């Protein structure tokens, strides 16, 4: 079918189809503010030259532009790559769950009924595990509070909560605020017939929330903490957080695990006949702990004890692999993606990143689909990430990614190629400004190499990002306050640049978001976009 494609609109006249190359600079947003801006501070001659000489604009990469409830909600790599890869805006994450809770649909679901009936029948405990914040990236504390209140209303007598501390999608040291909020609700609900308490916890980058199988020991440590009740004991979550802050001087995401105990005995181990809800709605950091609960033949670590529980996720985090088997809210049914369109036209495409973002240019890009649409026309390559703190090696695997990417560009096999450089996001999350500057500079060096390869094959290069992060590394509430490390994503727009040595493409007037990129790519490939997609950013 590729014979019907003609994207030779450069005036070269040779009729040869020109490849389109997409570079996603993860976590690199645009801001004019110099304070804490590692992107502005970086020496990046290639990006600066592109911005000076090429058609470019700013894209909205957060809030309603990526399907989140409001424009106060920061974007993230998952919803960003969904929008980039499908050309449409779908209700996502918090918005999906909000709608299901507000309508009562969640509490009418078969899974919710199974969880509740199990606890009532066996007089057993309902456990909640998840990220305790209102960051709206992985979870929202209000979802947890609604479920606890509903559980009491429906006759559950005992609830235990296993909290993961954020400090990444919210302020770096805000955990005590969320603990106080939760414990205030519990004090209102608790009575002779209802006992709800925090049972365990720890920082999200220490326990439970690993992703892409980068560090199964994190998940084992979470299992030991939440399920087995193994770990340092405290009287309360507040005591644990305050003690660890004094001892370790780290932000919330890096706090060690803790167990709440009375008389030396953990108050909330997970036992046979209990029900367990993982209330995170984002999939990447929920898959591994879900597998530990859901898979009888699990072999990634020794669980020591495998309690027979009813386990459910907030969403099904992987629809193809059916992880988990039970879930409370159905994920968006994303259809008519860019990859599907290219496969229908027989276009061979290539995607590459390192482990930390490999799922973003594959699974999330293809609309939360684990399987390829076509084994022959979709080629995916993963570069294993280093298992070291990102601030210690801020260049990460960008050189290796670029080596393979350039080889694929020059192979003449592919008409569409995409890559993600994770540096700006992963290093940005560490809060280390100097490392983030190096991260941005590393990506810039790679872009310079890619430009040379694009010229060699007479290709068209698009450079963009999925959300901001490294563009705001510090924050302060007022002028007199001491600067605080900011590890969360930003609300800043991201760049969209077209480099084409044959033609200066014209950017349309108007405001655009990440979902407009797919239509732009198909226009450059000489194809027609589906009517349901957002419009292209460029004119003919």
Q: How far apart, in whole angstroms, are the C-alpha atoms of residue 269 and residue 142?
A: 24
Give the DSSP letter of residue 382: E
- The SS3 of residue 486 is coil
- The SS3 of residue 249 is coil
Specify whether the CB–CB gap between 169 and 137 falls below 8 A. yes
Q: What is the DSSP string of 291-333?
A: HHHH-TT--SS--S-----EEEEEE-SBTTTTBSS-EEEPPP-
Q: How far apart, in whole angstroms, are the C-alpha atoms of residue 534 and residue 87?
A: 6
- The SS3 of residue 369 is coil
For residues 404, 405, 410, 412, the Cα torsion angle rounded to the nearest 10 degrees is 110
Mark whether 77 is an active-site residue: yes
Q: How far apart, in whole angstroms, are the C-alpha atoms of residue 140 and residue 147?
A: 12
What is the enclosing helix (H) or strand (E) of 436?
Answer: helix 433-456
Q: In what order do the strands lie in the sheet with 56-60?
A: 378-383, 349-354, 416-421, 20-25, 460-464, 494-499, 56-60, 512-513
Which 3-state string (H, E, C) describes 149-181? HHHHHCCCCEEEEEEEECCCCCCCCCHHHHHHH
- CA diameter of the chain: 82
Paired tokens of 523: 């226009």
Specify whether the CB–CB gap between 100 and 108 falls below 8 A. no
- The SS3 of residue 23 is strand
What length is written for the chain?
A: 540
Strand locations in 26-172, DSSP E?
Answer: 56-60, 126-131, 158-165
Q: Which of 77, 109, 200, 536 is catalytic?
A: 77
Closest C-alpha to 82, from 61, 113, 108 = 61
Closest C-alpha to 219, from 296, 274, 137, 164 = 164
C-alpha distances out from residue 345 to 348, 374, 414, 467, Å: 9, 12, 13, 30
Closest C-alpha to 43, from 330, 322, 434 = 434
Find the radius of gyration of the CA atoms of the chain.
24
Closest C-alpha to 24, from 340, 363, 365 = 365
Q: How far apart, in whole angstroms, are the C-alpha atoms of residue 181 and residue 215?
A: 31
Closest C-alpha to 313, from 267, 274, 279 = 279
Q: Which residues are catalytic?
A: 77
């Amino acid at each position: 079918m590729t014979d019907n494609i003609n994207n030779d609109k450069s005036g070269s006249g040779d009729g040869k189809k020109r490849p389109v190359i997409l570079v996603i600079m993860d976590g690199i947003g645009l801001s004019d503010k110099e304070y804490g801006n590692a992107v502005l501070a970086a020496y990046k001659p290639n990006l600066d030259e592109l911005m000076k000489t090429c058609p470019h604009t700013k894209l909205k990469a957060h809030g309603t532009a990526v399907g989140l409830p409001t424009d106060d909600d920061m974007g993230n790599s998952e919803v960003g790559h969904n929008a980039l890869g499908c050309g449409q805006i779908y209700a996502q994450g918090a918005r999906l769950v909000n709608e299901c809770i507000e309508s009562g649909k969640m509490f009418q679901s078969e899974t919710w009924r199974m969880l509740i009936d199990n606890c009532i029948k066996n007089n057993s405990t309902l456990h909640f595990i998840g990220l305790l914040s209102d960051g709206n990236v992985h979870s929202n504390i209000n979802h947890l509070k609604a479920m606890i209140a509903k559980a009491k209303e429906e006759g559950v007598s005992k609830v235990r909560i296993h909290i993961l501390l954020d400090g990444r999608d919210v302020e770096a040291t805000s955990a005590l605020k969320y603990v106080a909020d939760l414990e205030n609700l519990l004090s209102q609900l608790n009575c002779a017939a209802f006992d709800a308490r925090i049972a365990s916890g720890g920082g999200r980058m220490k326990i439970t929330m690993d992703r892409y199988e980068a560090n199964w020991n994190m998940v084992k440590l979470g299992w030991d903490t939440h399920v087995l009740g193994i770990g340092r004991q405290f009287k309360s979550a507040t005591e644990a957080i305050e003690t660890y802050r004094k001892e370790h001087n780290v932000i919330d995401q890096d706090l060690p695990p803790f167990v709440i105990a009375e008389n030396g005995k953990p108050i909330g181990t997970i036992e046979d006949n209990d029900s367990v809800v993982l209330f995170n709605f984002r999939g990447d950091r929920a898959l591994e702990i879900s597998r530990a609960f859901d898979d009888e033949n699990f072999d990634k670590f020794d669980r020591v004890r495998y309690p027979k529980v009813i386990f459910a996720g907030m969403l099904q985090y992987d629809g193809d692999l059916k992880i988990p088997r039970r879930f409370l809210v159905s994920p968006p049914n994303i259809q008519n993606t860019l990859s599907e369109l290219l496969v229908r036209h027989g276009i061979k495409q290539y995607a590459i990143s390192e482990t930390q973002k490999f799922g973003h240019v594959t699974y999330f890009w293809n609309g939360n689909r684990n399987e390829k649409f076509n084994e022959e026309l979709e080629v995916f390559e993963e570069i294993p990430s280093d298992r070291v703190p990102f601030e210690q090696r801020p260049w990460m695997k960008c050189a290796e990614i670029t080596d393979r990417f350039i080889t694929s560009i020059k192979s003449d096999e592919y008409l569409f190629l995409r890559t993600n450089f994770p540096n700006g996001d992963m290093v940005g999350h560490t809060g280390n400004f100097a490392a983030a500057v190096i991260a941005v500079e590393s990506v810039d060096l790679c872009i310079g190499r890619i430009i040379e390869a694009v010229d060699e094959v007479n290709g068209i290069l698009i450079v963009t990002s999925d959300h901001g992060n490294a563009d705001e590394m510090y924050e302060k509430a007022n002028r007199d306050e001491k600067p605080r490390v900011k590890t969360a994503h930003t609300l800043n727009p991201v760049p969209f640049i077209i480099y084409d040595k044959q033609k200066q493409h014209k950017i349309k007037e108007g405001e655009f978001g990440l979902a407009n990129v797919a239509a732009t790519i198909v226009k450059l490939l000489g194809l027609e976009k589906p009517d349901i997609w957002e419009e292209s950013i460029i004119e003919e």
